Structure 1
Amino acid sequence: MDPVGTIRATYSHFGPYDHGSVGAQIADNLYLGFRQTADDEQDTHLFPGMDLKFRLFNEKRFRPEISFGMQSVLGHKRMAGEYLALSKRYENFDFTFGAGWGRMGTRQTIANPMLFKNFSSSHRSLDGESPNSPKDWFSGRAGLFAGLQYDVPAVRGFSFKTDWSSDDWNAERHAYSEFDAPPPWSIGISYRPYDWIDAGFAMSGLNHMMLRLSFSPNLKDWVPRAAETPAFVEMISGRPDEMPLQHHSNEETSEQLGLRHVDFSNLRADADLEISPTLPAAFQIGQGARHLSNISGKNPEQLSFSLMHYGLRGPNLTLNRRDLEQASLTHQGSAEEIWHNTLIDDQIERAMPPALKRAKEKFKQSFGFKVDWVSDFSLAEDDAGILYRTALVPSLTKRIGKHFTTEHAVRFNLADNLQQLSQYRGVSLYPVRSDISVFTQNGILVDRQYLAGFATLAKDVHVSASIGYLEEMYAGITGEILYRPFDKPWAIGLDLNQSMKRDPYAIWGLASNGDHILSGFVNGYYEVPNTGATFKASAGRYLAGDVGGSLALDNEFDNGVKAGAFIVATNRSDFDLYGGKTNLYAGMTISMPLGSLPLIPDGSRMISHTKPLGRDTAQRLDNPVSLYEVTEPISYRSITRHWSALTHRP
């Protein structure tokens, strides 16, 4: 399998089919892709689908790599198939052997080994206009396949391949009376001149040619970051006898670093530290600690920070000042040694800053401007082919005091082909997102305009509420509560949303069309140790009134790139052109930071969604202030994952 973070875009041709796919290696063991297949011999009939591959066991000295995959796990039946593959490498040879089901189980067949305890059916339909469904998975007979690859040592990236297929092309034999099915064997070559591109050519028999071209850049190599890294705060050699806190330049630096309510005693220097989501939390702690040490005078031996984000209170971190001096000035320590001696305590008593003793806290405002380039793609349409739309969404965020924020965002729709939706699908009386083409016809639309409030009720218990225009298609009121223990890899929460559908025919979509719905979910989260990956499971009521649940995997890499995938199942179905229906809905999102590029505001991102468009079931409100995401910058994972940035620039 590809390294985690790899994005793969592939075109291939074999038999009567042209295949185009886009997928991502979401995690070390999971690949997810979306494919569109065109049959030129049948008036360009389309066979969309979602494919996945999961690695069960890594290869070891005496054990092959064991993986299972599902082609068109959600999609058209003609391309659907499942497989279990074993791969073993020996010097320059790579051997593969496995068993397949569905399309991959029609040649060299054996009795289905999955039939124990009625786990699978012995009969399976291999074609038809209804989509593939869970009852079809691993059903029918199984077929055996094998493959061999030899990497030529003298030519980097060049290899010979030969395969024996378990696909007998049964669906095509029934669909075309004179179909010339390719033989099971094939032999070909593959060339990978660079890590991110490879091409292949093969012959199956003497009359059937196979072509493949694939681009596979890795998201970890994405150069831009969410923001340009600020100048490094150097630690002053030698402790000053007096505290220069009252100097205007020091107060300004404290403000720029996010330090608030700075206070000193003979034992400790204290401050609130507002964590920005665009830089590693550890780097910001290190910047604040060095600056606080520079202005603390001679006596304090501890540097204590209360981590804050959007008014939510995280843990108190207390660093040993002497450890920081040794690491910064004499290079006799390290970030890991500083972490070992760092105290994490939610109950540290802090003296009230003198400013708060003299008067109430001043009303403060802060602003944040960013521009997102948002694109939506669907490769899973059997009635409209490939759909897309792209937009530019500039937004202005204003902090109001300590606990409130507002966001104002405008959507500039740049290009799309969603007019195809109205050609193939009927009009819904109560559209949820099936009227996406009408919204997109507006050149300018208010995307978001809301007021949100945040508070920490108790240790690790956070709440939020929002009111206003929450996303492109809905306005309303939301409330959320989250319990996220600081030293645990899990969290649990609940959100409730009273949503009102916006009228796409109104000016800027500001009016309501009268439809409203109460939705809500119980959410569970689990962080995969030592990674940026998070599993999320939700169950509740969706915007169409349907009830169901979802599973999602999101992964954030060290450079700030995010990739995620989800699947939803509910008790209601969407219909397609051919009368088929499905209760499942799945998609993938990739988000890449742009803020470090010249003239691009901090926090700007390029966001790509790949999912079916214009669906009404399994749809959830796009909450702009998810508490789990808001608390991530002050979480244990965020702080420790980049802790080495405490003493140097990331």
Structure 2
Amino acid sequence: MPIPRGGLRAALKTTVARRLSACLCVLAISAQPAVPQEDPWARPVLGFMGVPGILDMPTAHPMQDADFSLSLGVFEKTRRGTLHFQITPRLSGVFRYVNIEGYGTQDQYYDRSFDVRYLIAEEGRHTPAITVGLQDFGGTGVYASEYVVASKTFGRLRATGGIGWGRLGSYNGFTNPLGILSDRFETRPDGEDGIGQTGKLDARHWFRGDAGFFGGLQYAVNDRLLLSAEYSSDAYESEERRIDFDRKSSFNFGATYRIQDNIDLSAAWLYGSTFAVGLTYTFNPKTPNDYPGGLDQAPRAVQVRAPGSAADLGWTQQAGATQILRGDMQSFLAADGMVLESFAVDARTASTSVRTGTQVYPAQAVGRTARIMTQLMPASVERFEITLVTPGGMPVSTVTVNRSDLEELEHAPDGSWQSFARARIEDSGPGAATGVPEGAFPRYDWSFGPYLSAAYFDPENPLRLAFGLQLAGSFEPVQGLVLEGSVQQSLAENISGLPGSNSILPHVRSDANLYAGAADFTVANLTATKYFRPGEDLFGRVTAGYFEPMFGGLSGEILWKPSDSRLGLGLEVNYAKQREYEQGLGFLDYDVVTGHASAYYDAPGDFHYQVDVGRYLAEDWGATIGIDREFDNGIRIGAFATFTDVSFDDFGEGSFDKGVRFHIPLSALTGSRTDLSITRTIRPIQRDGGARLEMNTRLYEQVRAYQQPELQNEWGRFWR
């Protein structure tokens, strides 16, 4: 029996702070036990703004490289939820979501903002760490400010002093010292107290107007307990005016207790009038769990040949030898979660094509396949050619290893590096596979389980959800042709309660409420895709059908991606037609030709860059820039922004499309083999400008995982 929508809508109308608090508690309970670090300053504490800070004021030291922190601070009608990511050892980014009761014209006011911080100088023996920061530089301006801050450590004592502008220069301010450079720094343009339009990067405000000093002291009583005292330069003018906040003092006092290395609990007395509490959870994608070797089953050992056995070619005269070896390979690979695509063998070389299946890491799949081949192949076979094939049936790369190298290096101290240096990784080319096992096609797969979708940051309800049951399946009649689809039965949702769209652009995304409320049983997607290799270093696909809940049509894509190159170039062209709100098989009147030219670059140091230039669903032209940091365990955290010929005013709230995204394979959290993952894109708000089709058949992510740069990054797993 479906749950009534009205009941769920009422149940879900809680504050964003309570949701974030619940998430933090779950994370804290599920976190792996950690011994607190002996150095109390190894990882700075986060203040009530969710950045490294004393209490309400920032400090200069950064978090550890790649730290991803979630924090919640609560005081005086204010709840601040913050995501902080240490993008590089010096650069960090922040997304903050705030709920203030009675601020503005609403009983519950929600505000979103972004910060960026950069470490100018590390702390030295005689010099402090120095950081410059922009606070709330892309939001409504509730917390808009800029600062330069310095911190110096003296054993268990850390001192901080800084100068701030905007909010951080609003109490006991003085004439801007940057005025010696230009008179324009002395005046800061009037703001809107955070009630204006979000998303505009107005650099005219930065480092302008009066400045103010702030600072404080932190004392580490031991490796768990930290005491803090600060002088704040934030006058809290808008809060005093709008929510009757009583700012009696500029001095704040508090304490932080480190429950575990990654969990902090803070309490403070702020501005002489209010008590504050905060909770912080920090997660580092480099070391997400205590399972460095994983919980997977042990790989097969390399079987070393007897001396002189390589000269024996008698097996080549045995009838049906190839068929027997092919059957054995198929069984052994299946036992390790992989699928044999094709197999061929002669006196000296064995060639096998493999789909990695449940093996999460392709390099690990190559290593396990090679060891299986040492156990099964006749002693005369010296060269193993292992071709990696995408789930759609496209051969990508061929890894060639010598059997004698495997026998020599299995237990060598530097076996991983030497095995990579001796291996050869090449493009597999467009040739058709030979030696496909009998009965390999047709293939099918299916799954059944719950689904969850979300809409974020509606001013009336910051988190709207839809959940239900989903049946998904795929059918592959021949290699490279994949039919797949899914149907969903909604059990409950409150996305249909979103306000109706006021967009002056074609409603390609802003009618989410109409799609959510039109029907309980829907066809989420239904497509036929043909994958092919048009030439060396080239990959192609053609997809037809219902791509996603809102659009269907015809899509074609070509990707150029050499096996040993970090650069890839792609071209996609689509004819898209808008689906009916009920998400059956019908369409609305709106259609559009859309497409993009894309450049991808897999940079050293875990970073990946992508630029897409072309026409979007609302017939606007522009470009999307995406930057992601990717870790060897598959965790990916990034951000994107889209700028098109739609003006900020025509786009509406948010000014332009932007957001943060993350992808977390569950194997990285559990240490067990699984191909399940958590993937989410969090936008401040979804509008019609800069909207692209949602496609799960795009080529680049399928191809790159099987090519040399990615295989090299994870080659340490070759022997696991």
Normalising by the smaller structure, the TM-score range is: 0.7 to 0.9
**Cα pair distance change 1:88/1:488, threshold 3 Å:** farther
Residues 110 and 141, structure 1, Cα contact 8 Å, conserved in 2: yes
Structure 2: gaps (5+ residues): 1-61, 316-320
Aligned AA (1:33): F
- Cα shift readout 1:391-435 (whole Å, capped 9, x = no counterpart): 55443233342322222122344443324423x754878421222
One of 489, 504, 514 as aligned partner of 2:566: 489
d(CA) in 1 for partners of 2:188, 2:238: 15
CA distance in 1, matches of 2:100, 2:601: 39
Mapped contact 1:224–1:593 kept (Cα < 8 A): no
2:594 matched to 1:519?
yes
Partner Cα distance (2:413, 2:514) in 1: 63
TM-score, length of structure 1 as denominator length: 0.85
Selected match of 1:215 from 273, 276, 281: 281
Partners of 2:266 and 2:66 lie apart in 1 by: 23
Number of the residue aligned with 2:482: 405
Contact 2:634–2:665 (CA under 8 A) maintained in structure 1: yes
Paired with 2:584 and 2:181, the residues of 1 have a C-alpha distance of 56
Deviation at 1:368, TM superposition (A): 3.8
Match of 1:317 among 363, 384, 399: 399
Q: For 1:638, what is the secondary structure of its paired residue? A: helix
- Write the distance in 1 (CA, Å) between the matches of 2:648 and 2:560: 35
Q: Which amino acid aligns with 1:535?
A: Y
Partner residue of 1:450 out of 527, 532, 537? 527
Deviation per CA, 1:138-182, whole angstroms, max 9, x where unpaired? Answer: 15325344444534343x321011223232223345557x66335
Other-structure match for 2:542: 465
* 1:475 CA drift (Å): 0.8
1:157 aligns with 2:219: no
Retained in 1: the 8 A contact 2:288–2:668?
A: no
Deviations 1:374-399 (A, max 9, x none): 54555544354443444554432333
For residues 283 and 445 of structure 1, the distance between their equivalents in structure 2, rounded to whole angstroms, comes to 39
Give the whole-Å Cα distance in 2 for the aligned partners of 1:193 and 1:467: 53
TM-fit CA distance, 1:302: 2.0
| Equivalent residue for 1:124, pick from 160, 185, 189 | 189
**Relative to structure 1, is the Cα distance of residues 476 and 352 closer, same or farther in structure 2, using a 3 angstrom cutoff?**
closer
Code of the residue aligned with 1:123 in structure 2: it is R
CA shift at 1:642, angstroms? 1.8
Amino acid in the other structure paired with 1:170: E
State the 1:631 CA deviation. 0.7
SS in 1 for 2:479: coil
RMSD (Å) for aligned C-alpha atoms: 3.9
Aligned match of 1:143: 211
CA distance in 2, matches of 1:374, 1:54: 36
Matching residue within 307, 310, 313 for 2:388? 307
Tell me the CA shift for residue 639 of structure 1.
1.0
Q: 1:185 aligns with which of 235, 245, 251?
A: 251
User: Does 2:708 align with 1:636?
Assistant: yes
CA 1:515–1:41 in 2, change beyond 3 Å: closer, same or farther?
closer
Deviation, structure 1 residue 122: 3.8
Alignment partner of 1:548 is 2:612 = no
Read off the aligned partner of 1:51 and give its amino acid letter. Answer: F
Equivalent residue letter for 2:138? L
Tell me the distance in 2 between the aligned counterparts of 1:53 and 1:394.
42
Residue 100 of structure 2 aligns with which residue? 38
Q: Offset at 1:57?
A: 4.8
Matched, 1:295 2:295: no
Who is 2:516 aligned against? Answer: 440
CA deviation vs aligned residue, 1:580-638 (integer Å, no higher than 9, x gap)? 7442222223333347999x995333333322455222221112122111112212232
In structure 1, distance between residues paired with 2:189 and 2:483: 54
Shift of 1:113: 3.6
Structure 1 residue 38 displacement after superposition? 1.5
SS of residue in 2 equivalent to 1:75: coil
Identity of aligned residues (%): 21
What's the offset of the Cα at 1:348? 9.7
Q: Is the 8 A contact 1:448 1:471 kept in 2?
A: yes
**Partner residue of 2:82 out of 18, 21, 40:** 21
Q: Does the Cα contact within 8 Å between 1:376 and 1:609 map onto a contact in 2?
A: no
Q: Report the AA paired with residue 8 of structure 1.
A: S
1:189-204 equivalent positions in 2, closer than 5 A = 189-204=255-270
Instruction: Give the Cα–Cα distance (whole angstroms) in 2 for the partners of residues 379 and 473 of structure 1.
Output: 18
AA partner of residue 466 (structure 1): T
Identify the residue that residue 687 of structure 2 maps to in structure 1: 615
- Residue number in structure 1 paired with 2:141: 77
Q: Which runs of 5+ in 1 are unaligned?
A: none
What is the SS of the residue equivalent to 1:134?
coil
Query: Once the 2 structures are TM-superposed, how far is the Cα of residue 6 of structure 1 from its aligned partner?
Result: 4.5
Give the structure 2 partner of residue 498 of structure 1.
575
Q: Which amino acid aligns with 1:431?
A: H
Structure 1's 175 and 117: CA in aligned 2 closer, same or farther, altered over 3 A? same
Residue 170 in structure 1 maps to residue 237 in structure 2: yes
State the partner residue of 2:464.
387
Structure 1 counterpart of 2:3: none
Q: Is the 8 A contact 2:113 2:140 kept in 1?
A: no
**2:98 is matched by which residue type in structure 1?**
Q
Specify the code of the residue in structure 1 equivalent to 2:269.
Answer: M
Deviation at 1:289, TM superposition (A): 1.1
Residues in 2 aligned to 1:117 and 1:364: alpha-carbon distance in whole angstroms: 73
Partner-residue secondary structure (3-state), 1:322:
helix
SS in 2 for 1:639: helix
Contact kept in structure 2, 1:17 and 1:40, CA below 8 Å: no
1:252 to 330, 346, 351: 330
| CA–CA distance in structure 2, aligned partners of residues 175 and 414 of structure 1 | 40
How many Å separate the matches in 2 of 1:634 and 1:190?
46
How far residue 324 of structure 1 moved from its aligned partner, in angstroms, is 0.4
Q: 1:111 aligns with which of 164, 172, 176?
A: 176
Distance 2:186 2:621 in 1: 28
Structure 1 or 2: more strand by fraction: 1
User: Which has the bigger relative contact order, CA under 8 A and spacing at least 6?
Assistant: 1
Structure-2 separation of matches of 1:349 and 1:293: 28
Q: Contact between 1:106 and 1:142, CA under 8 Å: does it hold in 2?
A: yes
Name the aligned partner's letter for residue 220 of structure 2.
V
The alpha carbon displacement at 1:340 in A equals 1.4
**Contact 2:508 2:688 (C-alpha < 8 Å) held by counterparts:** yes
Q: What is the correspondence of 1:421-436 to structure 2 with a 5 Å cutoff?
A: 421-422=498-499, 426=502, 430-436=506-512
Whole-angstrom CA distance in 1 between matches of 2:433 and 2:481: 22
Q: How many residues get paired?
A: 633
For the structure 1 residues 4 and 615, does the alpha-carbon distance in structure 2 shift closer, same or farther, using more than 3 Å as the test?
Answer: farther
User: Is 1:509 equivalent to 2:573 in the alignment?
Assistant: no
Residue in 2 aligned with 1:11? 72
Task: Quote the Cα distance in structure 1 between the aligned partners of 2:539 and 2:358.
Answer: 17
Q: Normalized against structure 2, the TM-score is what?
A: 0.77
- Is 2:556–2:572's contact at 8 Å kept on the other side of the alignment? yes
